[in-house]
């Protein structure tokens, strides 16, 4: 047994104790903790402007002797034409968000190098090789960044560092904070892209004066380099970043004038992109303040002469209108059209939207087995890099090329990487899209995994895996993780259903709003209707149905083990909401929760919120429940899980409660993911009698 396997075995010991004494199968399962947690994950693929290379970030597990923390990630490049990939960074850090310089000779990225307490900084390195160099200072915690069109500067956002006077006060014990007062804005700053260039401050970075005291989130340069389009909020609070952002055009130079407001608060806004001709700014946004997702494309009139409106176009145009899909990413192409990665149900598509004729988008990729989640274009708009997964394969890098005439012919994406070849030999349950009618006639889509042993038995258990959000959805691609162990459950003989209940994204705005003022009502009945539909078609043992999920999926699980306890034999609730009224005073997203999830405030509708809370039905609880919670979670704080566990103990229901130190909303540390997976699997094996 090598060192890595020895560590993994040691980590699994506590969880294995939960298995029935006669069960010795844990060591035999092919989908074990290491397989589920340690496979390579790729993210943030970016094609070079000249179309010759694709850079991406690839994870690797921490070594046995490393301090606790998230998996490391390093940068790799692979030729567009195909061939071996080359690793270009190797530090024990998370190297992420790579972006090419306009001349394709350098790559900038974010990384917290220099120890566990290091801040995230912007780094730049040459494609030809050599050590990366930091552009930003050691005290600035950088977030979003963007190259200027001429490649000489990089704009980035960073929270104000803690003042030295404040640090001295804290060391002296005067370390209290005042709510909503002791906040440090997220500044928009600009640094020369040559780390050796001199600048106004020690690290060469200067704040953009026109941003003032606003907090800046997403950014993009104007083609002439004079402005930066940005989303901004009055404070750096998470809730404000979700719900109260404006779109601004910020003059870059000190004497460039004031900020120009392009769009007031309209609800959720994400990703701004300046058109190649400088006349418009596209953004992804919700249609109004109650839209749960920024899944529509809007066009805003860009400023010229210091003010918007000179083009004669309306100030704000919705290009996607009532289309039954959600847009996840946009890019301008040189011909003035927009590339959009869209989700429709459980599938994705890459399409071209012409602002002059937005009602007729053109699909670029035929629907196939792959689910594409990102797209990155070369400077000429011909070549594209994509990340895609299938039910059999985690995300890989793909690339394709449009014909010279710009139509769809010739864009047949080719796979460039093979990152997890060892997974191909593992047993698979068949994954497919399962559609069914809810009681009110609405069609619901889900992703179903049949047991690896099906057919062959008289009956099978079923596990429901509810997604979070609820503004999210399951795609018919790769869905395996420590908290969504579908294939691991299928290997152990379970049917597994991932329902996209009403309130999910990918079906248009009306579908996403269909749970408003009715949380846990008709949307949860969609889950129950799915169980009934499956049982009518497959040999499901209704006495062996489990439910699990995290965040909003944790809320569904808590409802399942309380209000609907007669339907579920086991539950694994992960950092989920259990009491909507107390949650409102604990979470970092009270406005987001109230405006786009409930479409009402619990302070004004306490009876409705209590009736939707799992705690209101604790008298019904009889389902054995495992609770998993991050100690530092600000989204769904620990008291929510504390309430459920205390009540289940009072009721005498079998329950176990694990709190993971340092973890926030979802678990990042390998040991914690392994323990959570093993506990989850053991709980289902025990109470579903797998």
Residue 201 has pLDDT above 50, yes or no: no
Give the separation between CA 346 and CA 86, rounded to whole angstroms: 33
Residue 368 has pLDDT above 90, yes or no: no
Angle of CA points 467, 470, 475, to nearest 5°: 50
Question: Of 403 and 641, which is predicted with more confidence?
Answer: 641
Confidence of residue 407 (pLDDT cuts 50, 70, 90): low
| Mean pLDDT value of segment 625-649 | 98
Q: What is the pLDDT of residue 399?
A: 95
Q: Which residue has the tokens 């209101």?
A: 616
| Mean pLDDT value of segment 631-647 | 98
Question: Of 285 and 312, which is predicted with more confidence?
Answer: 285
Q: What is the pLDDT of residue 15?
A: 35
Of 191-200, 209-218, 408-417, 526-535, the range with the lowest mean pLDDT is 191-200
Residue 202 has pLDDT above 60, yes or no: no
Instruction: Express each pLDDT in 294-320 by its tens digit.
Output: 999 999 999 875 454 444 455 679 999
Instruction: Express each pLDDT in 93-137 by its tens digit.
Output: 999 999 999 999 999 999 999 877 899 999 999 999 889 999 998
Q: What is the pLDDT of residue 3?
A: 36
CA Rg value for the chain: 25
Instruction: Express each pLDDT in 227-256 by its tens digit.
Output: 999 999 999 999 999 999 999 999 999 877
Give the separation between CA 328 and CA 541, rounded to whole angstroms: 38
Cα separations in angstroms, 61 against 39, 388, 668, 672: 9, 22, 11, 13
Give the separation between CA 304 and CA 322, rounded to whole angstroms: 31
Provide the CB-side half-sphere exposure for 435 (13 A, CA). 5
Nearest to 100 by CA among 38, 167, 149: 149
Confidence of residue 18 (pLDDT cuts 50, 70, 90): very low
Q: What is the pLDDT of residue 314?
A: 53
| Mean pLDDT value of segment 287-293 | 94
Q: What is the pLDDT of residue 586?
A: 97
Indicate yes or no: pTM above 0.95: no
Q: What is the pLDDT of residue 229?
A: 97
Return the percentage of the chain with pLDDT > 70, whole number.
92
Helix axes 670-687, 3-16, angle to 10 degrees: 40
Question: Of 363 and 388, which is predicted with more confidence?
Answer: 388
Question: Of 25 and 478, which is predicted with more confidence?
Answer: 478
Q: What is the pLDDT of residue 367?
A: 64
| Domains parsed from the chain with CATH numbers | 3-30+427-578+624-687 (3.40.50.1820)
Long-range contacts, 125-130 (Cβ 8 Å, 24+)? 125/88, 125/89, 127/48, 127/53, 127/77, 127/88, 129/88
Residue 321 has pLDDT above 90, yes or no: no
Residue 382 has pLDDT above 50, yes or no: yes
Provide the CB-side half-sphere exposure for 433 (13 A, CA). 16
Q: What is the pLDDT of residue 483?
A: 97
Cα separations in angstroms, 389 against 167, 303, 341, 435, 448: 47, 40, 14, 21, 16
Residue 90 has pLDDT above 70, yes or no: yes
The first and second tokens of residue 94, run together, are 């998370």
| Mean pLDDT value of segment 484-500 | 97
Q: What is the pLDDT of residue 303?
A: 87
Count of helices and strands (H, E) across the chain: 13, 36
Residue 197 has pLDDT above 70, yes or no: no
Instruction: Express each pLDDT in 160-189 by its tens digit.
Output: 888 888 888 889 999 888 888 888 999 999
Residue 279 has pLDDT above 50, yes or no: yes
Instruction: Express each pLDDT in 19-77 by its tens digit.
Output: 333 343 455 899 999 999 999 999 889 999 999 999 999 999 988 788 898 999 999 99
Give the separation between CA 7 and CA 465, rounded to whole angstroms: 29
Q: What is the pLDDT of residue 311?
A: 47
Q: What is the pLDDT of residue 14?
A: 34
Of 363-372, 477-486, 487-496, 548-557, the range with the lowest mean pLDDT is 363-372
Q: Taking the mean position of all CA atoms in its chain, how far away is CA 332? A: 23
| Mean pLDDT value of segment 274-290 | 95
Question: For all residues of the chain together, what is the average pLDDT?
Answer: 90
| Mean pLDDT value of segment 444-453 | 97
Residue 667 has pLDDT above 80, yes or no: yes
Question: Of 631 and 163, which is predicted with more confidence?
Answer: 631
């Amino acid at each position: 047994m090598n060192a890595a396997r020895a560590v993994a075995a040691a980590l699994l010991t506590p969880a294995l104790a939960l298995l029935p004494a006669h069960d010795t199968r844990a060591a035999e399962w092919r989908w074990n903790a290491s397989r589920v947690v340690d496979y390579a994950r790729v993210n943030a693929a970016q094609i070079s402007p000249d179309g010759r290379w694709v850079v991406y970030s690839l994870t690797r597990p921490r070594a046995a002797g490393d301090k606790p923390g998230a998996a490391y990630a390093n940068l790799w490049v692979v030729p567009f034409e195909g061939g071996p990939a080359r690793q270009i960074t190797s530090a024990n850090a998370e190297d992420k968000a790579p972006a090419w310089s306009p001349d394709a000779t350098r790559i900038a990225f974010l990384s917290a190098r220099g120890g566990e307490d290091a801040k995230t900084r912007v780094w730049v390195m040459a494609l030809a090789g050599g050590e990366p160099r930091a552009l930003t200072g050691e005290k600035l915690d950088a977030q979003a960044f963007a190259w200027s069109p001429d490649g000489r500067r990089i704009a980035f956002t960073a929270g104000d560092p803690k003042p030295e006077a404040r640090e001295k006060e804290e060391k002296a014990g005067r370390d209290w904070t005042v709510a909503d007062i002791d906040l440090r804005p997220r500044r928009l700053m600009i640094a020369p892209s040559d780390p050796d260039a001199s600048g106004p401050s020690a690290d060469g970075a200067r704040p953009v004066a026109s941003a003032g005291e606003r907090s800046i989130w997403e950014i993009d340069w104007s083609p002439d380099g004079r402005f930066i389009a940005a989303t901004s909020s009055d404070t750096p609070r998470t809730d404000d970043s979700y719900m109260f952002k404006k779109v601004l055009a910020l003059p870059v130079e000190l004497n460039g004038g004031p900020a120009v407001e392009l769009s007031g608060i309209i609800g959720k806004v994400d990703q701004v992109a300046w058109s190649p001709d400088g006349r418009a700014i596209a953004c992804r946004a919700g249609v109004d303040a109650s839209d749960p997702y920024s899944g529509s494309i809007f066009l805003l009139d860009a400023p010229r002469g210091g003010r918007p409106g000179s083009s004669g176009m309306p100030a704000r145009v919705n290009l996607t209108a009532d289309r039954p899909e959600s847009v996840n990413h946009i890019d301008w192409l040189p011909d003035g059209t927009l590339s959009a990665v869209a989700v429709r149900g459980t599938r994705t598509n890459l399409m071209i939207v012409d602002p002059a004729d937005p009602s007729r988008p053109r699909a670029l990729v035929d629907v196939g087995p792959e689910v594409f989640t990102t797209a990155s274009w070369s400077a000429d708009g011909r070549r594209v890099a994509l990340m895609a997964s299938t039910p059999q394969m985690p995300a890989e890098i793909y690339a394709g090329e449009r014909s010279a005439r710009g139509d769809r012919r010739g864009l047949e994406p080719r796979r460039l990487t093979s990152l997890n070849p060892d997974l191909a030999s593992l047993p698979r349950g068949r994954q497919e899209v399962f559609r069914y009618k809810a009681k009110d006639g609405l069609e619901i889509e889900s992703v179903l995994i049949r047991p690896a042993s099906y057919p062959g038995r008289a009956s099978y258990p079923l596990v429901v895996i509810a997604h979070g959000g609820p503004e999210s959805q399951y795609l018919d691609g790769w869905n395996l993780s420590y908290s969504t162990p579908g294939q691991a459950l299928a290997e152990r003989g379970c049917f597994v259903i991932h329902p996209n209940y009403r309130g999910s994204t990918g079906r248009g705005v009306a579908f996403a709003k269909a749970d408003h003022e009715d949380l846990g009502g008709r949307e949860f009945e969609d889950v129950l209707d799915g169980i009934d539909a499956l049982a009518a078609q497959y040999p499901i043992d209704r006495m062996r149905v489990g439910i699990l999920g995290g965040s909003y999926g944790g809320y569904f699980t808590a409802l399942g083990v309380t209000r609907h306890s007669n339907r579920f034999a086991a539950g694994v609730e992960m950092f989920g909401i259990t009491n909507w009224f107390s949650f409102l005073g604990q979470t970092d997203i009270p406005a987001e929760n109230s405006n786009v999830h409930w479409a009402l405030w619990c302070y004004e509708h306490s009876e409705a919120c209590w009736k939707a809370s799992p705690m209101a039905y604790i008298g019904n609880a009889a389902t054995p429940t495992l609770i998993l919670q991050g100690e530092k979670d600000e989204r769904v704080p620990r008291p929510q899980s504390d309430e459920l566990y205390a009540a289940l103990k009072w009721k005498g229901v079998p329950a176990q409660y694990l709190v993971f130190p340092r973890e926030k909303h979802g678990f990042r540390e390998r040991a914690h993911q392994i323990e959570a997976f093993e506990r989850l699997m053991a709980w289902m094996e025990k109470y579903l009698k797998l």
